[in-house]
């Protein structure tokens, strides 16, 4: 845990715990929200082939996750950590210039 705290620039175990909680809640919520979004788009398990439904659902999870990560991070008082985390992640994906992240 010491290496992770050092890598992330975290001082306290409480902050590390809050960050882990945010990651857990965000992942579960993003996966849960993707199903109704697929339904809204008219793509369901019943009316679509698996090779259309599942890749679309997985692709939807990514942007939902990114937004929720900052939202839940803010709720748990860790906005700055998750904002910096998002900027780094989007930059690594080559999307930093699109979103004007420096």
Q: What is the DSSP letter of 1?
A: -
pLDDT at position 71 is 97
pTM of the prediction?
Answer: 0.82
Task: Answer whether residue 92 shows pLDDT above 80.
Answer: yes
The answer to whether residue 100 scores a pLDDT higher than 80 is no
pLDDT over threshold 80, residue 95? no
Nearest 5°: phi and psi at 65?
-60, -45
Domain regions of the chain by residue span: 11-92
Question: Token digits for 37?
Answer: 């979004």
Question: pLDDT grade, residue 101 (50/70/90)?
Answer: low
Cα three-residue angle 18-67-80, rounded to 5 degrees: 45
Q: 100: which DSSP letter? A: T
Q: Which of 98, 101, 99 is nearest to 88 (CA)?
A: 101
pLDDT digits (tens, 9 = 90+) for 9-45: 998 999 999 999 999 999 999 999 999 999 999 998 8
């Amino acid at each position: 845990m010491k290496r992770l705290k050092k890598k992330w620039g975290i001082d306290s175990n409480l902050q590390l715990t809050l960050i882990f909680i945010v990651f857990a809640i965000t992942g579960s919520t993003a996966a849960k929200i993707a199903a109704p979004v697929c339904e809204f788009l008219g793509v369901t398990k019943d009316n679509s082939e698996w090779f259309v439904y599942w890749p679309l659902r997985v692709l939807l999870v990514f942007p939902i996750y990114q937004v929720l990560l900052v939202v839940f991070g803010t709720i748990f008082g860790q906005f700055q950590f998750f904002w910096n985390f998002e900027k780094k992640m989007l930059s690594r994906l080559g999307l930093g210039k699109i979103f004007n992240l420096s």
